[in-house]
Structure 1
């Protein structure tokens, strides 16, 4: 219980049964400040907040905060033109065009997306690639451009060889970058042209190679959830309840969130992502004790992924249902 008490201090007090609330970021002040400054077209403040953080997992949270803010595309291009040698405005432009591209495509299945929507989607992703490659040229040490290029590459279907090269470029700069590994997991899963075997091997090997307490243990849980998603009703439940699946989840948990180094190796928001993924995986597998441990540590903070797989319109409702089933 000592580890859970440590998590409680990091993620908030968890006496009683806290209300489930969707949390789309870490809640850190600079994340909200970036979002507000981006909405106000205040590039000077956006730049200052980014420069106060190093490149890595935490800086990508700021990038998505800016990227998901409506209207950024209208003022970021002049900012790029005003700073021809700077990487940062190109990074923000690249990530905004990624987010803007998916706004056009929507989350619908491909057969329900019109040709016109796909044309806008691909056009915006190609612009994103331009900005991201320019950022990488100006600051070769940065990880973020290559992380972004993993996202654009999947949308543009650049092919397995090119996708692998982009992943390798990212992890040369940040070997345990959670976002890059999460994108690679998607790239090698069955629905994107990979296979269950390749996906599980990647997740297992990446988690095992990471330092104790790393957020990369989440890859094992996410791989099982992707496999579960691909199966028909009935087969999906049997898969998650398989003793080998349960054993692999516990093995990954021991090396990840149950490890004493978890609070140091993973950022607060990454911790929430890890715990939510394991909570859902253990819940679907019928392991109430392990699921309850994760629900306790999240203190009611719900990440959209992976709960949107169960309830796309209200991930917190799916979380609440499974938390109750776990006896929390």
Structure 2
């Protein structure tokens, strides 16, 4: 029985409010984040080194390196162990996250001069460290994932961005997170276009086996298009017949397909589909996705709605529940 069929009949529990969990319900990630917060590299290193799956390691690093203050003990660890490629990777990944913290989520025109300075400095350090990691360990996926984010932030251009995306896919052709970064690169807000973004998302989805999580790209592309529209037009866009058909196809080909098998990062993918299907008034399918989540809300994409992310999740979950 598929993951969806086992869970689709469940009604989301109402006894507890939705929970915004930075560890995404993953107990091992929760433990690793605690080690990072404590600066315990001696315990964190063997745990990371034991992760054989490169996509899982990349996901873990992405969630660990958003822990505030890790740059302090990482700088010391890199200085003490320059030959340790793993600590260099973690430091490079942290500098990517730290750079975006300095830039903040403000529009470019609203970022302060100091914010831009720190953004540039931290991206430069990340670039140096991650390229060194890639040279030392040619088979590793993680440096190429984070280098995609750095290239976009530093405006290194389309050729560099494409080269880094291709390098990631040579190491893992179905890597969802790298496809997500490529999609961002093709967004209108980063110099691309809606047409190019949608074409990439659909081509990637159809090029993957049924049950692949790459269907999420179609959902994200519609969210990005929706965000770029003025009030009134945005709702009309998402609830239009063509977009609703596209979203139904993506959901039924990916997270609601019998062949779908959730990976470690599945909660973000399910939250994305839950939100966009609800906004598109595809309530029955949205409910089916919400049923797989219980109370597990993720910050992205719910922060796009403003206010409290967990509250947004709960409101839409209740809105889509059967009457």
Q: Which has the higher contact order (CA 8 A, sep 6+)?
A: 2
Which digits, 9 at most, give the CA deviation of each residue in 1:133-190, with x for residues without a partner?
0111111000100000011111111111111111000011011111111111100011
- Name the structure 2 match of 1:142: 140
Deviation at 1:3, TM superposition (A): 4.3
5+ residue gaps, structure 2, are none
Please point out which of 277, 300, 304 is paired with 2:299.
Answer: 304
Separation in 2 of the partners of 1:15 and 1:296?
A: 5
5+ residue gaps, structure 1, are none
Separation in 1 of the partners of 2:2 and 2:39?
A: 45
1:147 and 1:179 in contact (8 A); partners too? yes
- Name the structure 1 match of 2:311: 317
Separation in 2 of the partners of 1:274 and 1:71?
A: 28
- Name the structure 1 match of 2:83: 85
Please point out which of 236, 242, 267 is paired with 2:263.
Answer: 267
Count of aligned pairs between the two proteins: 321
> RMSD over aligned Cα, in angstroms?
2.0
Structure-2 change in CA distance of 1:317 and 1:16 (3 Å): closer
2:149 and 2:181 in contact (8 A); partners too? yes
- Indicate whether 1:47 and 2:42 are aligned: no
- Name the structure 1 match of 2:286: 291
1:207 and 1:217 in contact (8 A); partners too? yes
Give the SS at the match of 1:217.
Answer: helix
Please point out which of 84, 108, 111 is paired with 2:109.
Answer: 111
Structure-2 change in CA distance of 1:257 and 1:66 (3 Å): closer
Which digits, 9 at most, give the CA deviation of each residue in 1:13-61, with x for residues without a partner?
7564352111333333321222122222221211111012124332123
TM-score with structure 2 setting the length: 0.93
Separation in 2 of the partners of 1:193 and 1:319?
A: 31
Separation in 2 of the partners of 1:52 and 1:22?
A: 28
Please point out which of 150, 165, 168 is paired with 1:167.
Answer: 165
Separation in 1 of the partners of 2:266 and 2:8?
A: 11
Separation in 2 of the partners of 1:288 and 1:138?
A: 49
Separation in 2 of the partners of 1:320 and 1:15?
A: 10
Structure-2 change in CA distance of 1:138 and 1:166 (3 Å): same
Structure-2 change in CA distance of 1:99 and 1:249 (3 Å): same
1:56 and 1:177 in contact (8 A); partners too? no
Separation in 2 of the partners of 1:207 and 1:289?
A: 22
TM-score with structure 1 setting the length: 0.92
2:218 and 2:250 in contact (8 A); partners too? yes
Give the SS at the match of 1:167.
Answer: helix
Deviation at 1:321, TM superposition (A): 1.7
